[in-house]
Amino acid sequence: MSAIYPVILCGGSGTRLWPASRADQPKQFLKLIGETSSFQDTVLRVKDLPGRAEIVIVTGGAMASFVRDQTAQIGVEVTVLIEPEARDSAPAVAAAAAYVQSRDPEGVALMLAADHYIAEPEIFGQAAVTAAKAASQGWIVTFGVKPTGPATGFGYIRPGAALLDGSVNAVAAFVEKPDRATAERYVADGYLWNSGNFAFKAGMLLGELDAFEPSVSAAARACVAALTLEDGVARLDKAAFSGAAKISLDYAVMERTQKAAVVPAAFSWSDLGAWDAIWDAAARDEAGNAVFGDGTLIDSRNVLIRSTGPFVGVIGCEDLVVVAEPDAILVCRRDASQSVKTLVDGLKRDGRSIASGRAREGAPRRVLATTAGARVEQWTLKASETVELPIGTVQVLEGAVEGLNALAAIDAVTQVTASVATVLLVTRKL
């Protein structure tokens, strides 16, 4: 069997897990379930896979320090490829595939999300080896999780004919997130949840991209041709990477290829997409309550408390989520967890910095003036601090920000990192 190169995609900000997850520390780097983050758990799951070769992490510049720090904490060496900008999953996966092919023309990439929860790593390992074997024979294999119920928050896969030794199936169809009645029918008919994790021979994936999205494969090869690794870290060339179409791997390849296969997986899986998923994955007491941090419940059932700040007391409540950070508190019904994104979107529209960053001593943001159409603020940033700039204009009064001119117009919310201690004058449109 070909060598297995785990490729871990480490992007996204986990908006539905606000206020714990924000752009300055997204959910994959938080200890949401146990003593390690979901990113660390993902690395540990692949560390001892049979035939495992180099572990490759694809992430943005703002998250590179988290990647290095958290892999050092668990004692695992990785290679880090830094995207110059987010262009959805296909360009990121293609760049990693081109890198793997440059290292090993027969290498199989095992592409995994950094923010998923898997309760049985040994079952995952068995499924990963099965997927890698099928991938080494030319299939592009996705992991299909056996549903535990008629979930409406996931896409589904309809398995087709058995392939090879019967351990994998052809993919008969990918289907979008269903309504409840349709989900119940899918479960009854043997459909699988689409976990969004894959195994493929690097050259095979690039060949399919050549056919379907040539700008993506061309950009990936150009990035790797210009790549320079320093201490296990390399930045993908910005000009080359920007030539790739902004598209997901599902749309670019999986829904168009004739080589799609699925390995049915029996492990317990969650994408930890919202607070109800955290409650579902957490260890709970006999009343169905889960507490992380300083909290007490009385006469309450099916409640999740998570606090990194104040003590939280809950009395006489059911089906509730309470999340307390030093600068923000969320209270919602568990079945309304998906609406947290709506709350955060509103905070962003209102120009509230707590939507994407934590209020920290030494990094204040002062409002200097407000009009009907704009608000002028002074931001003081520490060296290496990452923030999201709102739509408007930004002037660097002191210091420097990576990739930002002294005076810049911001047309879309943009994540930047201060090179040194920096003071910004931010005029945001209201």
For the stretch 360-375, pLDDT in tens is 554 467 778 777 778 8
What's the whole-number average pLDDT of the chain?
92
Of 190, 247, 216, 199, give the one whose Cα is nearest residue 98: 216
User: Is the CA virtual torsion 233, 238, 244, 247 positive or negative?
Assistant: positive
Instruction: Using pLDDT thresholds of 50, 70 and 90, give the confidence band for residue 152.
Output: confident
Q: What is the mean pLDDT of residues 184-196?
A: 94
Integer Cα distance of 285 and 298 in angstroms:
13
Lowest mean pLDDT among 9-23, 292-306, 327-341, 373-387: 373-387
Q: What is the mean pLDDT of residues 44-69?
A: 94
Residue 283 has pLDDT above 60, yes or no: yes
Q: What is the mean pLDDT of residues 99-106?
A: 97
Of 375, 368, 418, 376, give the one whose Cα is nearest residue 398: 418
User: Is the CA virtual torsion 137, 140, 145, 149 positive or negative?
Assistant: negative
> How high is the pLDDT of residue 153?
82
Residue 49 has pLDDT above 60, yes or no: yes
Integer Cα distance of 97 and 201 in angstroms:
8
Over pLDDT 70: what percentage of the chain?
Answer: 99
Integer Cα distance of 198 and 171 in angstroms:
13
> How high is the pLDDT of residue 185?
95
pTM confidence score:
0.83
